[in-house]
Amino acid sequence: MEMYFAGFALCLSACLDLGVVNVATIKRGLDAGWRAALALSLGSAFGDLTYAALSMLGLALVLAEPHVRVFFWLGGTAVLGYLAVSMSLETWRPKARPVSGDASETTSHRRDFFRGMALALSSPSLIVWFASAGGAVIAGIYSHSQTPPYVFLAGFFSCSVTWAVFMALLSGKARHMLGQTALRAFSGASAAIFAVLAVKVFLDGLAAA
Mean pLDDT computed over 35-59: 85
Residue range(s) defining the domain that contains residue 76: 2-208
Query: DSSP letters along 124-136, please?
Result: HHHHHHHHTHHHH
| Per-residue pLDDT, 181 | 67
pLDDT tens, residue by residue, 139-197:
666 566 666 778 888 998 999 999 999 999 988 888 777 666 666 777 787 778 778 87
- d(CA 140, CA 133) in angstroms, rounded, equals 11
| Per-residue pLDDT, 45 | 92
In this predicted structure, the answer to whether residue 51 has a pLDDT above a threshold of 50 is yes
CA-nearest of 96, 100, 103 to 34 is 100
CA-nearest of 131, 97, 115, 148 to 40 is 115
CA-nearest of 10, 19, 127 to 63 is 127
Phi, psi of 147 (to 5 degrees): -70, 140
| Per-residue pLDDT, 101 | 47
| Per-residue pLDDT, 157 | 93
Q: What is the DSSP letter of 176?
A: H
| Number of other CB atoms surrounding residue 96 within 10 Å | 6
Of residues 42 and 131, more confidence is placed in: 42
Sign of the CA dihedral with 47 first, then 85, 87, and 132 last: positive
Sign of the CA dihedral with 22 first, then 46, 94, and 101 last: negative
Q: 64 Cβ partners below 8 Å, 6+ apart?
A: none
1: Cα within 13 Å, side-chain hemisphere: 0
Query: Which pLDDT band, with edges at 50, 70 and 90, does 37 fall under?
Result: very high
Helix axes 149-177, 2-15, angle to 10 degrees: 40
- d(CA 151, CA 2) in angstroms, rounded, equals 9
- d(CA 91, CA 120) in angstroms, rounded, equals 24
Give the distance, in angstroms, between the CA of residue 132 and the centroid of all CA atoms in the same chain. 17
Give the total number of structural domains in the chain. 1
pLDDT tens, residue by residue, 73-127:
677 778 778 777 877 776 676 555 554 444 456 678 889 999 889 888 877 667 7
